[in-house]
Structure 1
Amino acid sequence: MIDASLVSKINSRRVIVDACVSRDLANNLRNSGLVVRHVADINSALKDHEIAKMMHADEVLITRDYKFYRMLGEGRAILLAPGSNTVGRGAKLATRKDRHEVRRKNRLPSHIRIALRKKLAEEAKTGLLYMKILWGIMWLVLPVV
Structure 2
Amino acid sequence: MGLLITAFYASLLGLCYLYLSIVVISVRRREQISLGTGDNPELERLNRAHGNFSEYVPITLILLACLESLGAFTWVLHVGASALLFGRVIHAYGLRHHTGTSWQRVAGMLLTFGAMLFLAAANLYMIHYTVV
TM-score range, shorter chain: under 0.3
Tell me which of the two structures has the higher relative contact order, counting C-alpha pairs closer than 8 angstroms and 6 or more residues apart. 2
- Name which one, 1 or 2, has greater alpha-carbon Rg: 1
Please, what TM-score do these two structures have when normalized by structure 1? Answer: 0.22
Bigger proportion of residues as strand = 1
Please, what TM-score do these two structures have when normalized by structure 2? Answer: 0.23
